[in-house]
Each structure stands twice: as structure tokens, then as C-alpha cells.
């Protein structure tokens, strides 16, 4: 993108963040071909909060109360939760998530993000994993932000089928199908 004058850049910056509130200052710097400091100043002038606060704001607007586990046991930050429908979480891959030698994320963190999101998705007091079929599509590296979406496909007879997709910068990195057991008070087995 060619350099824009300040007012135009700030308007486009606000529009981009309305489209995707998860863009980092670095992403925006690359997109607008300006320094990170310029982006930070633009955000300040426009009263646009930093990434962490934007994530919290989106999460506060878009989720029901998690029932099947404590919120702090969900791997990643829940961004959206509509019980028994859809759930989305964000996991920022840090040094503790990767192999030391190559900075590639350990697969069990991606699996844990997906699995805990499936548990959180269910509108029930108890949800446990019965089985899963997963596929790791491409490596995830330190610094990547993994956005995982879980969609309930079927829920009956104390079994729920949930499809999960994880993306990094709009590229699929992980997908899975999880079958979950749920307690289902009042339901017949």
C-alpha cells in the first residue's frame, strides 16, 4: 500500500481494525508502510486501544457464560461464545509453547486450545472428550496468533459432534472433529 496522508491513514486504520480487531501494530505498520511508532500515535489520536484491550472488548461483547469448566482452564482467550452453537478463541504462541531449537509450536498446545474450546462450547455442567480426529496442516511458530473456531454440528443422546478449525493469518493450520460426552440433565441416555 502506498503511503497515505495522516488523516486518510487514520480513517483506514480505524476501518481495518473494525474489520479485524486482532491486527497487531506490526501488522498495521506493514500494511500502511509506516513505522510501528506512527501506528501507535495514530491509534492514540483516534482513541483506539491496543491489541489486548481490543481482544477483551470483543470477548466481553460476544460470549455467554462458560458452564463446563472454569474460564481460566480454557487454553487461549475466548473471543466469542454462543453456547451450543459456536465458539472462537485466540492463542498467542509464546516461547513456552514452542520447541527451543526451531521455535515451532508444540502440537499439544494447538490440540489443547481446540479441545478446551469444545468443552467450553457445550451448554452443560459436564463435558468430556470421547474421541477426536485431528490434522496438523502446517507448522505454527513463535509469535503467531492462532484463532480457533469450534462449531457444534450435532448434539443428541449425550454425544456432541464439534468441528474445529484453527487459522494463522487466514491460513488453516489445524482442523479436527471432536465427539464430546455431556451430562445432559433431563435427557435419556
pLDDT tens, per residue, the chain with 189 residues = 667 888 888 889 889 888 887 788 888 898 899 998 998 899 888 888 887 777 667 655 655 566 666 667 889 988 888 899 999 999 999 999 999 999 999 999 999 999 999 999 998 888 999 999 999 999 999 999 999 999 999 999 999 999 999 999 889 999 999 999 998 764 544
Q: Give all domains of the chain, ordered by start, each with its CATH number.
A: 6-56 (1.10.10.10), 63-182 (3.10.129.10)
Please list, in sequence order, all residues whose beta carbon lies within 8 angstroms of the beta carbon of residue 52, skipping any fewer than 6 positions away.
none
CB 151 within 8 A of CB 163: yes
Cell numbers for 1: 500500500
Q: Is the pTM of this model over 0.85?
A: no
Residue owning grid cell 468443552: 119
Residue owning grid cell 481490543: 54
* Confidence (pLDDT) at 166: 97
Amino acid at each position: 500500500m502506498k503511503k497515505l496522508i495522516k488523516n486518510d491513514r487514520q480513517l483506514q486504520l480505524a476501518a481495518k481494525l473494525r474489520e479485524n480487531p486482532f491486527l497487531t501494530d506490526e501488522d498495521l505498520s506493514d500494511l500502511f508502510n509506516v513505522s510501528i511508532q506512527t501506528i501507535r500515535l495514530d491509534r492514540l489520536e483516534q482513541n483506539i486501544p491496543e491489541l489486548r484491550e481490543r481482544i477483551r472488548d470483543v470477548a466481553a461483547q460476544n460470549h455467554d457464560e462458560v458452564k463446563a469448566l472454569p474460564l481460566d482452564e480454557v487454553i487461549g482467550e475466548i473471543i466469542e461464545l454462543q453456547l451450543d452453537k459456536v465458539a472462537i478463541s485466540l492463542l498467542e504462541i509464546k516461547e513456552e509453547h514452542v520447541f527451543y531449537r526451531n521455535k515451532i509450536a508444540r502440537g499439544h498446545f494447538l490440540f489443547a486450545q481446540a479441545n478446551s474450546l469444545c468443552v467450553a462450547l457445550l451448554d452443560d455442567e459436564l463435558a468430556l472428550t470421547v474421541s477426536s480426529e485431528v490434522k496438523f496442516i502446517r507448522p505454527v511458530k513463535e509469535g503467531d496468533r492462532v484463532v480457533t473456531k469450534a462449531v457444534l454440528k450435532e448434539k443428541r443422546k449425550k454425544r456432541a459432534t464439534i468441528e474445529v478449525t484453527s487459522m494463522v493469518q487466514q491460513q488453516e493450520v489445524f482442523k479436527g472433529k471432536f465427539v464430546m460426552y455431556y451430562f445432559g440433565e433431563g435427557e435419556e441416555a
